Structures are given as C-alpha cells and as structure tokens.
C-alpha cells in the first residue's frame, strides 16, 4: 500500500527573532498530528529535513520534536540532508519506512533557522551545497553560483532579463494570497525589471528581486498506510515520486539546462502514467528566477532555450495553461532551506483538497512538485492527487 498524506501544518516563513529550530518544530509537530486526526502515540517514526551547514549551533535535530511532543519518546527518529531538497529527502525516507512495513504512520518535518546569522555567514553556509574545490571563491555565495548559470544561459540563448522580471512579478503577485509567505507585496514588473537602490544587482544578471530571501520556518506532514483511509477527513496520494542526482561540480555539466531535473520529471510523469498537460498546477524550486525559467524547460513545457515563451505568453500565471508557484514560490514565500520541500508538498495538498484559501485554484486535480538541492544536483519530483 502506498503512503498517503493525511495531515499537515505550516508556520509563516520569514524572520522569527525569538524562535530557534526547536521552537519552529514545536509549532508544526503536534498540530500536524492533530490535523491528521491521530494521537502522538500512533506515530511510528519521525523524519526531519534540515540542511543547517552551520546556520544553527544546534545540529542533530531529530529528537528535538520530543521537547514539544514527549509522547514520541522511544520512536525512531532521523535527520535527512540533501541541501535545499532536505525536506523532500525526509518525505522519501518516511515513505520508504512505511512501504517497507516498519510502521503505519510517520511524521515528516522540514525546518531551518537562517536569520540568526549574517548575510555573509548564510552565503558561506549555502556554498556548502556547491563543489567547494572549484566554486568556493564565487562572489555572492549561492547567488553567485546561479548568476554563473544565468550568464551561461544568457550567452547561449540571449538576454532573458525581461522574462526573469516577469517571473519575479508573477510570484510576488501570487505571494499576496499566501498567509505563510514572507513577502506579501505585489512589486510589479517595472520594479522587478529595473536596477535601483531598492533592487540592486546581487550578482549579474541577478537582481535582488531574482533571489529568494533568507528565511526561518517549518512545515510538517503526516504520512499513513492505514488500511482504512476513510478514517481520515482527506487524503492525498503520490501518483509518483522520483529522485535523481546529477554531478556536483558545475564544470561537469552543461549548466544552461537542468538535466537532472529533466530526468526526474521524465521518470515521475512516466511512473504516474500522465503527461504534463494532465497537471492542474506545479510548484517548482525558484530559489532564483533563472531556476524557474529553466524548470519550464526541464518539465517539458517548452524546448530548452525557449522558457521565456511560457512566462511572456502567460502560460504559468494563476489563470494560465499551467499555473506555476501559485504559493508565491520560494521567491515570495521564502526559502528556509530544510523546510522548503515539505512546504511545497503541504501547499500542493491544500490545493488538491480545496483548503488553499485565497490561493485556491478553480481546477486542482493533479499536482506536480519539483524540489531541487544545490545547483540542479539533487532533484525530486512528485505527482500528487487527492484520494
């Protein structure tokens, strides 16, 4: 029996000055269990996605959940780390635990505390998700890594600054409707397109509006293989869940395309027995706007080098052919690294069950989720639908 998502919880993303990772975990752990209609004693294992890389002095977070849910004592608990896809890695670990018959219900938590460090310290920590032997001296941290990707893309396919600004503007518009989003302001295309004091170049060609913000936050979901799913008020199943890794060094890849993401999408769509046109919406990993542009191509919405067609044609708007990042994406929602993959699955489950509030799309039957670790290195794609 394949595990189903039966409950969830989500903190607002942003700067939580008085909360550490432990406090953020406490905000979602018991609420997710209760949202599923379960008691803590019915949870058989806990999986925590957290990147950290020095951003929090408290490492080894898996047992922190017992601080707020002591009834989970003596349950197996593990931390997963796969860079910015640590949350999806935790989901896969939870699914595998259940599919192997070791339990019936698991709690999956994604969490990150980032804002206690300076911007420079966070930038260096995130470079831990790059190949330091070759990329450690790239200016501007991980923004510099994706700036290098953007430069390669622009050199091969032409200047895409208008398309990147359109993506940023779209996601900020969508973020207005997301109560969990860090940035809930419609900035507009002109602001996102122009270089200004409030929107400076971070690492050419990327401006501030092309970069996801530094965030704190947590999200959690409960997976179950109960033989009586009717006991749950709603359930979301995985039609497919694919995970592939690509080379870590940029020098080993054609960085103007996301080959690993493309392979993960091919596997997931094939395993689900669907095509991209069957999807109602997609949540993709827009850590930088160039990543969303290249994600259009990786999923097959356009040919490689033609991703701008999707945004200039309005295909990925909320009322378009395939809405992308109705949540506001990482760009507006925020990107607390370990929490991101779990958040994307929670937001998608809310859409599929009609519980997305102001974010709700009129058609939400089948969802695609793409969560990426590093610069296109760890690639997770899920195809989800309501049971």
Taking CA atoms, 223 is separated from 14, 157, 197, in Å, by: 26, 43, 46
287 is catalytic: no
Given the structure tokens 């999807």, which residue do they identify?
Answer: 279
Check: CB of residue 285 under 8 Å from CB of residue 295.
yes
Rounded to a whole number, what is the distance in angstroms from the first to the last CA of the chain? Answer: 13
Residues 6+ apart with CB under 8 A from 111: 21, 24, 25, 28, 48, 49, 50, 61, 217, 218, 336, 338, 339
State the catalytic residue, choosing from 16, 92, 243, 335.
335
- Taking the C-alpha atoms of residue 67 and residue 25, their distance in angstroms, rounded to an integer, is 9
Check: CB of residue 104 under 8 Å from CB of residue 6.
no
Residue 49: which of 256, 303, 344 has the closest Cα? Answer: 344
- Taking the C-alpha atoms of residue 272 and residue 40, their distance in angstroms, rounded to an integer, is 32
- Taking the C-alpha atoms of residue 1 and residue 314, their distance in angstroms, rounded to an integer, is 39
Half-sphere exposure of 231 (CA within 13 A, CB side): 10
335 is catalytic: yes
* Rounded-to-10 torsion of CA 191, 196, 201, 204: 70
Residue 283: which of 242, 333, 248 has the closest Cα? Answer: 333
- Taking the C-alpha atoms of residue 360 and residue 363, their distance in angstroms, rounded to an integer, is 9
State the catalytic residue, choosing from 84, 192, 211, 287.
84
Catalytic residue list? 84, 335
């Amino acid at each position: 029996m394949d595990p189903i998502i039966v409950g969830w919880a989500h903190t607002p993303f942003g700067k939580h000055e008085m909360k550490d990772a432990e406090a953020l975990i406490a905000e979602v752990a018991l609420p997710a269990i209760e949202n599923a209609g379960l008691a803590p004693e019915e949870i058989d294992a806990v999986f925590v996605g957290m990147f950290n890389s020095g951003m929090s002095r408290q490492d080894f977070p898996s047992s922190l959940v017992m601080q707020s849910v002591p009834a989970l004592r003596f349950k197996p608990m593990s931390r997963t780390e796969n860079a910015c896809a640590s949350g999806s890695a935790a989901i896969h670990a939870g699914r595998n635990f259940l599919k192997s018959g070791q339990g019936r219900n698991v709690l999956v938590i994604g969490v990150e505390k980032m804002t206690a460090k300076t911007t420079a310290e966070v930038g260096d920590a995130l470079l831990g998700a790059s190949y330091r032997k070759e990329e450690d001296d790239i200016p501007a941290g991980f923004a510099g890594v994706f700036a290098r990707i953007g430069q390669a893309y622009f050199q091969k396919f032409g200047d895409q600054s208008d398309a990147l600004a359109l993506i940023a503007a779209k996601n900020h518009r969508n973020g207005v409707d997301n109560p969990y989003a860090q940035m809930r302001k419609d900035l507009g295309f002109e602001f996102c397109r122009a270089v200004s004091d409030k929107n400076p170049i971070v690492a050419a060609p990327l401006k501030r509006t092309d970069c996801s913000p530094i965030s704190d936050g947590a999200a959690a979901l409960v997976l179950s293989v109960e033989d009586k799913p009717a006991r749950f008020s709603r359930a979301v199943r995985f039609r497919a869940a694919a995970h592939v890794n690509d080379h870590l060094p940029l020098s080993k890849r054609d960085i103007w395309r996301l080959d690993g993401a493309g392979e993960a999408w091919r596997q997931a769509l094939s395993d689900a027995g669907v095509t991209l046109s069957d999807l109602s919406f997609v949540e993709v990993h827009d850590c930088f706007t160039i990543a969303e542009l290249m994600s259009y191509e990786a999923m097959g919405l356009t040919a490689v080098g033609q991703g701008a067609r999707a945004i200039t044609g309005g295909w990925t708007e909320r009322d378009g052919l395939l809405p992308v990042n109705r949540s506001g994406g990482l760009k507006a929602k925020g990107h607390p690294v370990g929490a991101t993959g779990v958040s994307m699955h929670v937001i998608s489950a809310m859409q599929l069950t009609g519980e997305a509030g102001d974010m709700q799309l009129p058609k939400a039957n089948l969802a695609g989720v793409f969560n990426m670790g590093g610069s296109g290195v760890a690639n997770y794609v899920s195809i989800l639908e309501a049971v």
